[in-house]
Amino acid sequence: MTPVMPSYNKTDVHPSTFILIGIPGLEVAHIWMSIPFCVVYLLALLGNFSILFIIKTDPKLHEPMYLFLCMLAVADLIVCTTAVPKVLSLFWFNDGEIHFEACLTQVFLIHSCSTMESGFFLAMAFDRYVAICHPLRHSMILTHTVIGKIGLAIVLRGTVLFSPHPFLLRLLPYCKTNIISHTYCEFMALIKIACAETRIRGAYSLTVAFLTGGVDFILIICSYILILHTVFHLPSKDARLKTLGTCGSHVLVILVSYTPAFFSFLTHRFGHHVAPHVHIFVANIYLLVPPMVNPIIYGVRTKRIRDRFLKLFSFLKPLN
């Protein structure tokens, strides 16, 4: 007697491809939304590559703040390049198909590099704390060796803590559907379409997110409380304003980066009444806008980078 086979096979449980549908409810606007998405992505590439080139070619900028800025620029480039080309392919050609392995790779790179960005923000806040609160010891504390070790620790933290994510997702069965209501592969988006118990995996993701971005944000706030305490004890108003000005760029970058990140994170877990298209649109802003804005803010508000950029631009400008 021939045994009765189950109604699904391995390809049903682990599909070879997923289908990204973009922003639910806004499919007709995808082609129009692709225009600002593409412009922002190109500006992000131009800005971050410019930052890397300027700092690399100017030995005077080989200081802790600028070296951490280079690390941030690399992480920004990886995050946006991992997601945006596929998003534009979806918007332009309705090409939402993504292979299972590519989807898991996208999950790992986006989450791990986003965590590295958070770590570099904390490193830059620590640099500002030492420079303002202990200026005479700044060069002794933040040597190039120490900077390299901090950068390596941040990269290893992001890699180690988020390496389990692809394996946790691979072990899940996806027998309900292979359609992802998103523009890119995200851990919680895949969790939602799995047909298995996912509370432990969700708890792990939540814990890791708090131990990285959440703790980083708390430590950044603590560093700026100490900085403000020192600044307000400076003897003159001009000195206070000048010192605060050196922190202005960093504070703006942190606000631009953490605001959409926290909104997306909290909405995934607790914002059940938030419209899906709002959440997914903000999730895309989180990947697109900070990589574009970061080099602009530092370029405009940091005199040394601005002067170097203007000098480079004037050198490249053709003579009449």
Does residue 98 form part of some domain? Answer: yes
Instruction: DSSP letter for 212, please.
Output: I
Q: Is residue 274 part of a domain?
A: yes
Domain annotation covers residue 25? yes
Structural domain of 178: 17-306
Structure tokens at 32: 């129009």
pLDDT in tens, 295-305: 888 777 777 78
Domain at 203, CATH number? 1.20.1070.10
Angle between helices 144-162 and 64-93 (to 10 degrees): 30
The rounded mean pLDDT for the chain is 86
Confidence of residue 271 (pLDDT cuts 50, 70, 90): low
- Tell me if 77 is assigned to some domain: yes
Number of domains into which the chain is organized:
1
Q: Residue 193: how many CB atoms within 10 A of its CB?
A: 17
Residue 293 CA to residue 299 CA, distance in Å, equals 10
pLDDT tens digits, residue range 34-77? 999 999 999 999 999 999 999 998 888 899 999 999 999 999 99
236 falls within a domain: yes
Helix (H, G, I), strand (E, B) or coil at 17: strand
Taking the C-alpha atoms of residue 101 and residue 17, their distance in angstroms, rounded to an integer, is: 8
The answer to whether position 313 is within a domain reads no
The answer to the question of residue 8 being in a domain is no
pLDDT tier at 317, thresholds 50, 70, 90: low
* pTM of the predicted structure, to 2 decimals: 0.89
Please check whether residue 320 lies inside any domain of the structure: no
Token pair, residue 135, equals: 């200026």
Tell me the C-alpha distance between 162 and 52, whole Å. Answer: 26
Backbone angles phi, psi at 99, to 5 degrees: -65, 150
